[in-house]
């Protein structure tokens, strides 16, 4: 494997493992549970990617360095002094999760191009998104949480946009520059979305509108607030 991609993926595995470990710690799990969640986030998306692409057995079973990296990160996070520090940090989980999302989305899309002669656009984007969000999805289900991709500010959407950007840039800028640019884009979108509380419209405003006795005279408007977050506003028409 290309050393550049290996380093990138190991960085993503460590970042995702920290994110998963923090979830386990906040759920008061023991070291075994913390490691299971960390490894699941770090390699779960890659396993799904390899299954989709027909690359069996998945890479994590052929090369245990990914799981070892994830376990090492989990043990470091579980050290009392380190654990106390990271639990006081409100941004560490966001940053590590964003780094993992960016790296694995791009590496997944790149793997689709490498294993398929005529990959097109849909397959790399789909595989990239599955690689980026798959591990976190499994982790959230195991931890009893609503998966982040359904509720968190611009999560899967950032992955989709970054995968599309990578596919476009790859044709003009080469794979290394396009991978770094798309990864940086996804990380930036996730951090900005969290800071400005960007989110996609949910169904609550629609339900309020439908259940309102004045709905015949009302209307729903989608607006962009001053902090750039989308809002669904129910207002009366006259």
- pLDDT tens digits, residue range 215-225? 444 444 444 44
Helix (H) or strand (E) holding 138: helix 122-143
- pLDDT band per the 50, 70, 90 thresholds, residue 107: very high
CA 195, 167, 164, 52 torsion-angle sign = negative
Does residue 148 sit in the same domain as residue 56? yes
Does residue 218 sit in the same domain as residue 176? no
Catalogue the E-assigned strands of the chain. 218-224, 230-236
Does residue 225 sit in the same domain as residue 120? no
Rounded CA-CA distance 200/161 in Å is 14
Give per-residue burial for 222-237: e unless 16+ CB within 10 Å, then b. Answer: eeeeeeebeebeeeee
Predicted confidence at residue 213, as pLDDT, reads: 57
Which structural domain, as residue segments, surrounds residue 223? 204-236
> Which tokens in the block code for residue 167?
């596919």
In the chain, what is the straight-line distance between the N-terminal and C-terminal CA atoms, in Å? Answer: 65
- pLDDT band per the 50, 70, 90 thresholds, residue 152: low
Predicted confidence at residue 214, as pLDDT, reads: 52
Q: 177 pLDDT exceeds 60?
A: yes
Q: What's this model's pTM, rounded to 2 decimal places? A: 0.82
User: How many structural domains comprise the chain?
Assistant: 2
Best-predicted range by mean pLDDT among 8-12, 103-107, 169-173, 196-200? 103-107
Does residue 164 sit in the same domain as residue 184? yes
Does residue 116 sit in the same domain as residue 42? yes
Does residue 224 sit in the same domain as residue 179? no
User: What does the DSSP assignment read for 144-194?
Assistant: T---HHHHSTTSHHHHHHHHHHHHHHHHHH-HHHHHHHHHHHHHHHHHHHH
Does residue 60 sit in the same domain as residue 33? yes
Does residue 137 sit in the same domain as residue 38? yes
- pLDDT band per the 50, 70, 90 thresholds, residue 72: very high
Does residue 59 sit in the same domain as residue 108? yes
Q: 33 pLDDT exceeds 90?
A: yes
Which three-class secondary structure state does DSSP give residue 91?
A: coil
């Amino acid at each position: 494997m290309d050393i550049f991609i290996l380093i990138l993926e190991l960085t993503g595995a460590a970042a995702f493992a920290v994110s998963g470990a923090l979830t386990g710690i906040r759920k008061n799990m023991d070291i075994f549970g913390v490691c299971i969640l960390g490894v699941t986030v770090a390699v779960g998306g890659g396993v799904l990617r390899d299954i989709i692409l027909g690359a069996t057995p998945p890479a994590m079973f052929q090369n245990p360095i990914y799981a070892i990296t994830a376990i090492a990160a989990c043990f470091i996070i579980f050290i009392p002094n380190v654990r106390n520090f990271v639990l006081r940090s409100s941004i560490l989980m966001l940053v590590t999760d964003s780094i993992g999302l960016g790296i694995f989305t791009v590496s997944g899309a790149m793997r689709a191009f490498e294993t398929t002669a005529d990959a097109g656009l849909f397959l790399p984007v789909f595989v990239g998104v599955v690689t980026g969000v798959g591990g976190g999805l499994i982790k959230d289900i195991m931890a009893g949480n609503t998966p982040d991709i359904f509720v968190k500010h611009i999560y899967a959407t950032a992955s989709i946009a970054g995968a599309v950007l990578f596919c476009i840039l790859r044709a003009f800028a080469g794979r290394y520059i396009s991978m770094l640019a798309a990864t940086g884009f996804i990380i930036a979108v996730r951090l900005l979305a969290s800071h400005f509380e960007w989110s996609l419209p949910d169904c609550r405003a629609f339900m309020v509108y439908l259940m309102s006795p004045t709905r015949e005279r009302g209307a729903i408007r989608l607006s962009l607030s001053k902090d750039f977050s989308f809002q669904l506003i129910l207002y009366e028409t006259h």
